[in-house]
Structure 1
Amino acid sequence: MKTAVHTLTKTEQFNFLLTNRIPRRWLTLFMGWFSQIESPLLAKISIAIWQCFAEDLRLQDAKKQKFTSLGECFTRELKDGLRPIDQRIDIVSSPCDAIVGACGRVEGSKVFQAKGFPYELSELIPDVRIAHKYRNGVFVTLRLKSSMYHRFHAPVDCQVKQVNYISGDTWNVNPIALKRVEKLFCKNERAVIELKLDRPNSSITLVPVAAILVASMKFNFLSQTLNLSYRGANVIPCDAQFSKGAEMGYFQHGSTIIVFASHEYQLCPGITPGQPIKMGEALLSAEPESNDSHTSPAYAGA
């Protein structure tokens, strides 16, 4: 067991050095260009190389098995029925396939990206009106590995009236980076999506955070593609209605979505750091909180 942990740490350290000690912006822009080159042969070679580093890449789950570009593989759709949605009315389902990172209670306005690395809600969510709703609320960090399904979906029935896009850096968001780079999520490119619910006193907000090699965040309800080349308004109005489980958009590579919910929500059983979760599975519950619901949050890698 000790050997396995040691090997993982060395791998993560190498990954951190490789992806964070190089020109992150230019590599991300290059990846965005390269992934859109339409060449079935180039796509096949690129995917084969990718599979050498990502043994858990499951292309057999994809609707199509042959791709004209690497980007088409990154943003692949899954076969119908592979991600059943938990339709219980009191359940917030996971918006994506992911590995659960730091999660638990927001301590006042303080959130933890990893043990010993806190940030303020207002540093991640610049809209004070939205940030204030999650004081003493609950949060879950969902990390999408590069090999995972990259599309994200509505965790509840909801309406979206605007997207707040914040341009920023492209730090890697893997566990070793989160333990080394202070307030990493607050530095990176991201979007804030407040979900309007039928429950008037409840609030849920998604914060997709981009990372190195993530060429864009594409929302199905916006005509704009949000990436490092975007020069439009930061607050983009829209009027989109979603049923629970409906697709909202996708990353062009692995990244992170942070889910915030107001204080009456709690983590569902089994939601702990390091636990894999699939889109549609139970993530949060609006049932009454237990007596120990205000204990310290869990931390990735604790």
Structure 2
Amino acid sequence: MMKIRKLFQQTLLQEDLNFLLTNRIPRIALTHFMGRWSQIKNPFVVKASMAVWRWFSDLDLSEAKQQKFDSLHACFTRELKPGLRPVDPDPKVLTSPCDAIVGACGVITEGQVFQAKGFPYRLQTLLGDGAACRDWPEALEGGKFLTLRLTSSMYHRFHAPHHVQLQHVTYISGDTWNVNPVALKRVAQLFCKNERAVLHMLAQSGEPFLIVPVAAVLVASMRLHAVDVLLNLRYKGPNEIPCQADYAKGQEMGWFEHGSTILVFVPAGFDWADGLTPGMRIKMGEPLLTKA
């Protein structure tokens, strides 16, 4: 059975087939359906759904705070056992806001960043043309950008990378393309097409920066503790949401309803943490960037 499962997964990883199965489908309709399905509180549905989920992924619930779930949604948004994600206390360090695989990263140059090699996009296009976002490309010029991809089986909550204040949220409605590496190498400006939230942040040490959670197929839904509405495909506005929410380093800020991507943009004056390389797995609380 294990050999069959591995062969099946290898087949799905073939780029053409993977792209076809995860993108050439009615993405938004399927995402709506998944949202409803995940809320069903039926033991048979939950057990069967999690069995299918395990077949397609490396789902491991050994770190979960609870081991039994009354819905698929409860498993998607699970908490961890206390103490499993120690947060680097160094005040010069910005830590990873989530468990993730490190994707494209580099320097913000003339307002341009990359989703994958050879696939650039404009920071302003990602942030939208709202008044609250117009000054960010200039403020971040010469700084760093970083892509953090959450797979479906990972811990889906995200946390403050430093002692910070969340000052504003810009919510941008969009599509639900898959955000896996296959799609990022094929769909130009993918992050700029998908549902996303721009979190306007200010570090306690004075640096402004951005965290941008990006939704994807099956997961166009996110919850922020500082906002009293669920941000998803059914949300009708307002798109500009002022707020002043203070977070201690490592404090939970919100969660995805499944898995997706978080983009981080910081101004000049930060270096990469030692050993940080694309493709590596990183856990929430581990060093991401250091103040030069």
**Equivalenced residues, count:** 280
Question: Residues 236 and 246 of structure 1: is their aligned pair in 2 closer, same or farther, counting only changes over 3 Å?
Answer: same
Q: Which residue of 2 aligns with 1:264?
A: 269
Gaps of 5+ in 1: 288-302
The answer to whether the Cα contact below 8 Å between 1:93 and 1:283 also exists between their aligned partners in 2 is yes
Q: Which residue of 1 aligns with 2:225?
A: 220
Give 3-state SS (helix, strand or coil) of 2:34's partner.
helix
Q: Which residue of 2 aligns with 1:131?
A: 137
For 1:280 and 1:8, locate their aligned partners in 2 and report how far apart those are by CA, in whole Å. Answer: 34
Q: Which residue of 1 aligns with 2:81?
A: 79
Q: Deviations over 1:84-136 (max 9, x none)?
A: 00110000000000000001111221101011100111011121112321111
Q: Which residue of 2 aligns with 1:281?
A: 286
Q: Is 1:237 paired with 2:246?
A: no
Q: Which residue of 2 aligns with 1:150?
A: 156
Give the letter for the 1:34 counterpart.
W
Q: Which residue of 1 aligns with 2:147?
A: 141
Q: Deviations over 1:165-223 (max 9, x none)?
A: 000010000001000000000111000001112223x2221000000000411101111
> Under a length normalisation based on structure 1, what TM-score does the superposition of the two structures give?
0.90
Give the letter for the 2:157 counterpart.
R
Q: Is 1:208 paired with 2:213?
A: yes
The answer to whether the Cα contact below 8 Å between 1:214 and 1:252 also exists between their aligned partners in 2 is yes
Q: Which residue of 1 aligns with 2:118?
A: 116
C-alpha displacement at 1:266, in angstroms?
1.4
Q: Which residue of 2 aligns with 1:189?
A: 195
Q: Deviations over 1:129-154 (max 9, x none)?
A: 12321111101100000000000000
The answer to whether the Cα contact below 8 Å between 2:162 and 2:204 also exists between their aligned partners in 1 is no
The answer to whether the Cα contact below 8 Å between 1:189 and 1:209 also exists between their aligned partners in 2 is yes
C-alpha displacement at 1:13, in angstroms?
3.2
Gaps of 5+ in 2: 1-6
The answer to whether the Cα contact below 8 Å between 1:93 and 1:282 also exists between their aligned partners in 2 is yes
Question: Residues 10 and 31 of structure 1: is their aligned pair in 2 closer, same or farther, counting only changes over 3 Å?
Answer: closer
Give 3-state SS (helix, strand or coil) of 1:122's partner.
helix
Q: Deviations over 1:230-261 (max 9, x none)?
A: 00200012221100000000001110000000
Identity %: 56
Q: Is 1:251 paired with 2:256?
A: yes
Give 3-state SS (helix, strand or coil) of 1:82's partner.
coil
188-197 vs 277-286, which deviates more?
A: 188-197
For 1:10 and 1:250, locate their aligned partners in 2 and report how far apart those are by CA, in whole Å. Answer: 27
191-200 vs 220-229, which deviates more?
A: 191-200
Give the letter for the 1:281 counterpart.
E
Q: Which residue of 2 aligns with 1:299?
A: none
The answer to whether the Cα contact below 8 Å between 2:184 and 2:190 also exists between their aligned partners in 1 is yes
The answer to whether the Cα contact below 8 Å between 1:31 and 1:215 also exists between their aligned partners in 2 is no
> Under a length normalisation based on structure 2, what TM-score does the superposition of the two structures give?
0.93
Give 3-state SS (helix, strand or coil) of 2:22's partner.
helix
For 1:279 and 1:62, locate their aligned partners in 2 and report how far apart those are by CA, in whole Å. Answer: 15
Of residues 78, 91, 94, the one that matches 2:93 is 91
